[in-house]
Amino acid sequence: MATTAPSATCALLSGDEAIARGAFEAGVRVATAYPGTPSTQILEAIIEESRSRGVEESKRPSDSSPIASSPLRLHAEWSPNEKVALEVGVGASLAGARALVSMKHVGLNVASDPLMTASYVGVRGGLVIVTADDPGMFSSQNEQDNRHYAPFAKVPMLEPADSQEAKDFTIAAFELSERFDTPVLLRITTRIAHSNSLVQLGERTEHEPSGFVCEPAKTVMVPGNARRRHELVEARTIALAKYAESSPLNRIEKGDPLIGVICSGVVYQYVKEARPKASFLKLGMTWPLPEKLIRRFAKSVEKLYVVEELDPYLEEQVRGMGIALAHKPTAPRTGELSPNAVARFLGSRKKPGRAPAQGLPPRPPALCPGCGHRALLTAVKRLKLFVSGDIGCYTLGVQPPLQTMDTCICMGASVSVAHGVEKATGRSDNMVAVIGDSTFVHSGITPLIDIVYNKGTSTVIILDNETTAMTGHQEHPATGKTAGREPTTRLSLEDLCRAIGVPHVSVVDPYDLKKTRELIKAAVDRDEPSVIIARRRCVLLDRDRLRHPYRVEAERCAGCGQCLSHGCPAIADVTPKGERKKQVRILPQLCASCGVCAAICPSNAIVATGVAGNE
């Protein structure tokens, strides 16, 4: 949450909030995103900004007036996926509006198709694309270094080192975008996105969209046009490299001439912490690189280091210039850096700190008590099926004791991977694909079409919790609400699946364990594709639901421990040491009264207390 300092022009903002603020001040007209940690709060903060400043949100097309006289000032949307988000941004830019598109690092893979050609097309209104990388994988499936996208797509890249820079660089990115006719990448990492520091606030400057102009040579990428645009792109990179030499985004901080460090982003802060007196070449623009500036800096110091997180992106380019570095190419390539890791890399002689306490049980994240995903996965587990998994809270089902997830690659892959397994093995009666509602809309629809089209027989279970839960409960097309929580046309998942041609579509409440199991069993045994929509609202959105905590009747309990097999945090194993017969207790303050444990218990020893009470 943004907090405000006594001075009204200063606020303690996260990097995400600062980017939103920068875009707002830069007069952004269209902001699009798909939620993904650590980028989610950017669009959320833009929605907040527009609300608190009384900017009118866009109206639905059906009730808005023609574009020329429309009251649109700022439109913020959750797009179904990052590819769509970027394409909407491209459209807005070509209509002369400033547009901000934000996503997590893997989202840019999804959006890479429009990115590569948007680079050729260029912009009319500034187009800024935020990629939020996740070194250390706090909430991601890989830790790819998206700095490589800048030279790959031939677009400039800026990397802020704190929240003030996050705001300033966002504004600078819009200006660069328009000046050099190019989309601009703004690359941040988790520690920039989710660290707060003070930011000077400014006023919003409106940028009136010019409207769409017909100019096929620029905007229709058929080979003849694209060949000419590619030449312009190469010339643009040369012009940008020249700009980088004198850009205020890059700066030399003269310090101790014995040690010089080239760095960018949050790593600059770690090096400042470890070696405040060193000389610095702090790069705010990390593509294209200012070669002359780097050479000048290298000459001015005795020992030159490049300190960076993940890939040797800067290091390889500096070495490629024939500049000698004081270190071997051995910096850590995995995980995130820290002030301590940087101090070690720079040869700190400070004594290493104390070792962490040994023998502590880990505390991994877990599905919440009463989570519909747990109920569904419990039903799947009891059928002993191969589970083709996907990205969302339910991925936590891979952990013991549930252990009900066999693959997880990327958004939407559960459906297509299941199809691949079926085509390779010739059977689909031993497996299901599980995918969340938001993830299904993101990229599960096309592979479902593939199953139907190519005569597959797989079973797809859509875990519909009516929200995008893992990233903090964002709306999506199937919730029937916009990013700003206004009602809109709701995408019906069941109608969609039927329209695709899936012959068997059913909806079930996963709390009803028996019915859920029967439906899944029938579906996997069928020689036709099936979709089961397991619909149960996320418990975190359902806190006002009346609860009747369950309890264990000790005299009926056989001590089998089955109720512990689905990993509910509300069920505590209180078996005394040495005792073989399990003893359990249900913690009333955690119990969400879903009743799944009662359905599992073979001795009917778990009963509702009948004592209703909200938390």
Per-residue CA distances from 332 to 146, 308, 311, 343, 568 (Å): 17, 9, 9, 13, 38
Question: Which residue intervals of 306-429 are DSSP H helices?
Answer: 313-320, 339-345, 372-382, 413-425
* Residue 273: CB minimum distance to other proteins, A: 4
E strands present in 284-324: 285-287, 303-306
Task: Name residues whose C-beta falls within 8 Å of residue 46's C-beta, 6 or more positions apart in sequence.
Answer: 20, 23, 24, 28, 31, 74, 76, 100
CA distance 419 to 422: 5
For other proteins, give the closer residue by CB, 282 or 535: 282
Verify binding: residue 488, other proteins, rule CB under 8 A. Answer: no
For other proteins, give the closer residue by CB, 402 or 497: 402
For other proteins, give the closer residue by CB, 111 or 337: 337
Verify binding: residue 366, other proteins, rule CB under 8 A. Answer: yes
Among 225, 340, 488, 575, binds other proteins (CB under 8 A): 340
Phi-psi domain of 593 (left: phi exceeds 0; alpha: psi -120 through 50; beta: other): left
Structure tokens at 277: 């007196």
* Residue 348: CB minimum distance to other proteins, A: 10
Which one of the spans 245-253, 267-275, 407-415, 552-560 is the region binding other proteins (CB under 8 A)? Answer: 267-275
What single-letter DSSP state applies at residue 322?
Answer: T
Phi-psi domain of 41 (left: phi exceeds 0; alpha: psi -120 through 50; beta: other): alpha
Verify binding: residue 4, other proteins, rule CB under 8 A. Answer: yes
Long-range contact list for 315-324, CB < 8 A, 24+ apart? 317/289, 318/262, 318/294, 321/291, 321/294, 321/295, 323/294, 323/295, 323/298
Among 257, 276, 329, 613, binds other proteins (CB under 8 A): 276
DSSP string, 48-93: HHHHHTTPPBPPPGGGSPPGGG----BEEEE-SSHHHHHHHHHHHH
Comparing CA positions, the residue from 311, 304, 356 lying closest to residue 327 is 304
Verify binding: residue 19, other proteins, rule CB under 8 A. Answer: no
Verify binding: residue 3, other proteins, rule CB under 8 A. Answer: yes
Contact 78, 35 (CB under 8 A): yes
Among 338, 562, 575, 603, binds other proteins (CB under 8 A): 338
Among 360, 514, 544, 614, binds other proteins (CB under 8 A): 360
Verify binding: residue 355, other proteins, rule CB under 8 A. Answer: yes
Verify binding: residue 269, other proteins, rule CB under 8 A. Answer: yes
Query: How would you label 402-432 residue by residue, b for 16+ Cβ within 10 Å and e otherwise?
Result: bebbebbebbbbbbbbbbbbbeeeeebeebb
Which one of the spans 54-62, 188-196, 476-484, 542-550 is the region binding other proteins (CB under 8 A)? Answer: 188-196
User: Binding marks (x or -) toward other proteins, 137..156, rule CB under 8 A?
Assistant: -xx-----------------
Comparing CA positions, the residue from 293, 288, 289 lying closest to residue 260 is 293
* Residue 9: CB minimum distance to other proteins, A: 14
* Residue 238: CB minimum distance to other proteins, A: 35
> What are the phi and psi torsion angles at 142 (to 5°)?
-155, 170
Which one of the spans 106-114, 115-123, 316-324, 350-358 is the region binding other proteins (CB under 8 A)? Answer: 350-358
* Residue 318: CB minimum distance to other proteins, A: 23
Among 40, 109, 237, 414, binds other proteins (CB under 8 A): 40
Verify binding: residue 471, other proteins, rule CB under 8 A. Answer: yes
Structure tokens at 570: 């509300």
Three-state DSSP at 32 gives strand
Number of residues that bind other proteins (CB under 8 A): 56
Structure tokens at 46: 């833009």
* Residue 3: CB minimum distance to other proteins, A: 5
Verify binding: residue 407, other proteins, rule CB under 8 A. Answer: no
Verify binding: residue 272, other proteins, rule CB under 8 A. Answer: yes
* Residue 403: CB minimum distance to other proteins, A: 10
* Residue 272: CB minimum distance to other proteins, A: 4
User: Binding marks (x or -) toward other proteins, 385..404, rule CB under 8 A?
Assistant: --------x--x--xxx---
Contact 53, 204 (CB under 8 A): yes
Verify binding: residue 223, other proteins, rule CB under 8 A. Answer: no
Per-residue CA distances from 282 to 19, 343, 466 (Å): 20, 17, 45
Verify binding: residue 41, other proteins, rule CB under 8 A. Answer: yes
Q: Which residues bind other proteins (CB under 8 A)?
A: 1, 3-6, 12, 37-38, 40-41, 138-139, 162, 191, 194-198, 266, 269-270, 272-274, 276, 338-340, 343, 353-357, 359-368, 393, 396, 399-401, 470-472, 567, 569, 572
